[in-house]
Amino acid sequence: MGIGMSKVVKFGGSSLASAEQFEKVGNIIRADEERRYVVPSAPGKRFKDDEKVTDMLYACYRLAEEGKDFKGKLGEIRARYREIIEGLGLSLSLEEEFRVIEQNFQDMAGSDYAASRGEYLNGIIMADYLGYEFIDAASVICFDESGAFDAEKTDGLLSLRLSACERAVVPGFYGAYPDGRVKTFSRGGSDVTGSIVAKAVKADVYENWTDVSGFLIADPRIIDQPEGIETITYRELRELSYMGASVLHEDAIFPVRQEGIPINIRNTNAPEDNGTWIVGSTCQKSKYVITGIAGKKGFCSINIEKDMMNSEIGFGRKILQAFEENGISFEHVPSGIDTMTVYVHQDEFMHKEQKVVAAIHRLCNPDVIDIESDLALIAVVGRGMKSTRGTAGRIFSALAHSNINVKMIDQGSSELNIIIGVANDDFEDAIKAVYDIFVITRL
């Protein structure tokens, strides 16, 4: 390993959609010589109704599978890359690569192979443009025979390969089976690769460059220009992403979390912004009592009442068994002395409603079962809530002030989050009310 600090930088598809975006990325990487390992995605959309290269590759391969002529579609993909190469003034040619791809499509190399070519080709361009070494992810990212990611083998192989390499480009999203066939990660693929590379080189920071300046306290579709989150812990992030905030996938966080490497989410189009830091733990006080608000609509609550329920051993297990027997997972189970409520996803529950009700009657013999639909759950998350008294009270008064009826409140023992249940129709207003009291007025 060379001396000095090292950063692994991952760039998303919108950051690499055109030659102009590539130039921004090049400037960012060259601005800091610690940015030594680069993980690119495939070219994303250049404009709103544009097609991502990965989607084009899937469509092209489908034609090949159906025995139709796919060369026209492949030509469109070739043109996208040519546009980037020419725009950057490189003397690189991908003709040989496309000849191999065409042959492999004819030989049915698999849709994983097809999908991975977007990152593969972009990696070749990126390495040429930066003057870095190109390392094919298929040679260093390993999956086992069953298709599960082999973390140990990968880490050993990748550490060894990169230790001999001062600066390198490793395309995201894919690796290979032991026999060399290409296999892609299921979700958040390039983010996962970036994290694996950061772990292998024991990087000081994993920078994840995208088209937003980090995470926002709330959904910008609900709150007009919400404030950004400066620092968030992994646990807070997990609570928020569980409640639907579209943030990094769990698999993308795990490798760096193990090593204690911080992640910095940055904006390619505003590189001067600090973005969001994701860390294991921190003494940094968050700017507000709350770190973030996230939520989902479309829940049902099944409220079960029975006298003396609390003294009946195994009662809770029997109720949950009724859901388990029908293959339904539950979200929350707040309970009182003689009541217990189970929150489930409405679309999962609807078709099996009567079966579940019958099972609860059979197993528990309740006095009353009451079902309410069209509910939303909102998570208010923040490490600052532990040291601040009256957080729940402030949430209640903010919601009452906005005439929102709270159906349920559930605070985790970690004091890291409070879950509120409201009607679907009140979802946006409830988020606005909570955001307002903690961020805008800070009463």
User: Which runs of E-coded beta strand occur in 282-333?
Assistant: 292-305, 330-332
CA-nearest of 306, 289, 278 to 393 is 289
pLDDT in tens, the chain (443 residues): 445 689 999 999 889 999 999 999 999 999 999 999 999 999 999 998 999 999 999 999 999 999 999 999 999 999 999 999 999 999 999 999 999 999 999 999 999 999 999 999 999 999 999 999 999 999 999 999 999 999 999 999 999 999 999 999 999 999 999 999 999 998 667 888 999 999 999 999 999 998 888 889 999 999 999 999 999 998 888 888 777 666 677 777 888 988 889 999 999 999 999 999 999 888 777 788 899 999 999 999 999 999 988 788 888 899 999 999 999 999 888 888 889 999 999 999 999 999 999 999 999 999 999 999 999 999 999 988 887 788 888 999 999 999 999 988 888 766 788 999 999 999 999 999 999 999 998 75
pTM of the model: 0.83
Alpha helices in 88-181, H assignment, sequence order: 95-106, 111-130, 151-163
Residue 48's contacts (CB-CB under 8 Å, 6 or more residues apart) are none
pLDDT value of position 262: 93
Predicted pLDDT at 347: 93
Who contacts 345 (Cβ-Cβ below 8 Å, separation ≥6)?
298, 299, 300, 328, 329, 331
Name the token pair of 248. 């990094």
d(CA 67, CA 106): 9
Q: Domain 292-440's class? A: alpha beta
CA distance 21 to 310: 61
How do the domains of the chain map onto residue ranges? 7-211, 292-440
Helices (H), 314-372: 315-325, 346-349, 353-364
Residue 102's closest CA among 128, 134, 73?
73
User: What is the predicted pLDDT for the residue at 1?
Assistant: 43
CATH assignment, 7-211: 3.40.1160.10
